[in-house]
Structure 1
Amino acid sequence: MDINAYIASGVLELYVAGALSEKENAEVYALIQKHPEILQEVLEIEAAVVKLTSSTSQRNNLHILENVKKELGFDGNDTKVVSLVKPKYNWITYTGWAASIVLAFGLLWTVNQNKQLQTDIQVAETQQSLLETQIENSKNSLAEANTLITVLRDDNIARIPLAGQGNFANTYAKVYWDKNEKRIFLDAQGLPDPPEGKVYQVWSLKLSPLTPTSLGTIDNFISDNNKIFEIENSNESEAFGITLEPAGGSETPTMEFLYTLGVVAS
């Protein structure tokens, strides 16, 4: 069935006006229940009729009454009885209107309920996801804390302070080097947040001759609250340094942006 063609046929206007037969009314009513587009069109037609009626109901209609009396053969003195004719349309016309309105409210209520249910489900899923993330973060934080405590208490862990250099004399950091596990823990609390497009890069250094080896960039510096980073280091390091480099890092350290440097005690 072509819904648009049916709507454009004018049948729905006749339905609202009560100008269809009982069979036709029943057919339209069945289509209203089946097709939301037809229901919407009927509601819009009814709204237009109500609006039009309200806008003209206050006008003076005496001339219409006079014309009717004239057509019926009344004069000012005669009284005539006009036989009543059984209305052409029975209750099904009005039932169709009432049913369409009830159906419309039902559809709107169902849509609203579905939207509310979907919203409630999304909120519940988001809350569950946040809770799971918080629990996981708590587990990770606890594990990290226990690891750091172990490192700080271990006398075999080398502690190398990194002092500020040149224009960055007010910066500082500290390296805890676990040679057995071939890793360092970098405490970078004394470094400011890097500017946009820049990252800190950590270097392992051999001093004679000076040979830098990159230990990687700290890409999550800003988002990490405690500013302690675990970094693999299998080098025979004699010093450690931190430079500010473009995002992605550099092959060699940019010495004019050397923030901190510390020599491993012999």
Structure 2
Amino acid sequence: MDIKAYIESGILELFVAGQLTENENKDVQKMMLKHPEVLQEVLEIESAVIKLSSAMSPSDNKHLLQLIKDKLQFGGQDVKVISIDKPRYNWLTYTGWAAALIVGAGLLWTLNQNKQLESQVSEIDMQNLYLEQQIEQAKTDLAVKENLLNILRDRDIISVPLGGQGDFTDSYAKVYWNKEDNSIYLDAQGLPNAPEGKVWQVWSLTLNPLTPTSLGTIDNFNDDDNKIFTITNANESQAFGITLEPAGGSETPTMEQLHTLGVVSQP
């Protein structure tokens, strides 16, 4: 689904306004749980509604009274004065208008306060929902990290440090190779972000004769915070190297861009 198009469709505004059906509300809530950007947009809409409600606060009594007068068509046109014999009827008439104004003002103020309270409660609910989502994400991240630590501590894992080469002495990485399931875990924290139009490419090497075999490119390197990647390796590797290649990768490593290299220790 195109999330941008979904946000721009106007359904989130209807959700905040309470104009959706129960099923539609459930669909929007599912989208908020699944896509943080949808949840953020709802929070921003809620905030805008609260600000607008505050701007319409009845603190300006003159504005409120004028609004009620306009609704009642009181003062909108010149009033024709009719003289009557009994002045007490005039008093009752004015009293009725004053009572209507007071009751109307009270109703509008109460309605405005209720809407503000509902908006505040709704925003708190959204914030709690967002906080719960963050907690669940943290639990998931912790479980992933604990699982990774257990893998790296396995006695059968082969650790291969990759040191910086040539002009790239500050670069480093480490390969954790599990020969039982033909997988390696690459910790590439010591590599800089790939420049635009370039990617990091990982190589398995046999040394005699020197034969490089590509293990693939790391296309999401710049966006990954942990810089730990899982790569399949079914080769009888004697060494591992990482080069910087054009986007899409290369058939053979560009030796001038060999940043790290490490030899597998023999048992």
With normalisation by structure 1, the TM-score equals: 0.56
User: Which structure 2 residue ranges, 5 or more long, are not aligned?
Assistant: 1-66
Mapped partners of 1:158, 1:265: distance in 2: 8
1:233 corresponds to: 233
1:161-196 CA-to-partner distances (Å, cap 9, x unmatched) read 111122211111110101112211112232234456
Mapped partners of 1:203, 1:119: distance in 2: 56
Mapped partners of 2:123, 2:187: distance in 1: 40
1:250 corresponds to: 249
User: What pairs up with 1:109-148 in 2 under 5 angstroms?
Assistant: 109-148=110-149
Mapped partners of 1:177, 1:204: distance in 2: 11
Compute the RMSD of aligned alpha carbons.
Answer: 3.8
User: What pairs up with 1:1-266 in 2 under 5 angstroms?
Assistant: 39=68, 41-42=70-71, 85-87=85-87, 89=90, 91-92=92-93, 94-154=95-155, 156-195=156-195, 199-206=199-206, 208=209, 210-217=211-218, 219-221=220-222, 223-225=224-226, 227-245=227-245, 249-252=248-251, 253-266=253-266
SS in 1 for 2:127: helix
Mapped partners of 1:143, 1:119: distance in 2: 36
Q: Which runs of 4+ in 1 moved over 6 A?
A: none
Contact 1:216 1:249 in 2 (8 A): yes
SS in 2 for 1:124: helix
* Aligned-residue offset at 1:136: 3.5
Contact 2:243 2:257 in 1 (8 A): yes
1:65-105 CA-to-partner distances (Å, cap 9, x unmatched) read xxxxxxxxxxxxxxxxxx98224756355424542453244
Amino acid at match of 1:250: G
SS in 2 for 1:128: helix
1:130–1:86 Cα change, 3 Å: same
SS in 2 for 1:261: strand
Contact 2:176 2:186 in 1 (8 A): yes
Counting aligned pairs with the same residue, the percent is 39
The total of aligned residue pairs comes to 193
* Aligned-residue offset at 1:143: 4.1
2:38 corresponds to: none
Mapped partners of 2:74, 2:205: distance in 1: 84
1:254–1:105 Cα change, 3 Å: farther
Mapped partners of 1:199, 1:44: distance in 2: 71
1:200–1:119 Cα change, 3 Å: farther
Amino acid at match of 2:145: E
1:84–1:176 Cα change, 3 Å: closer
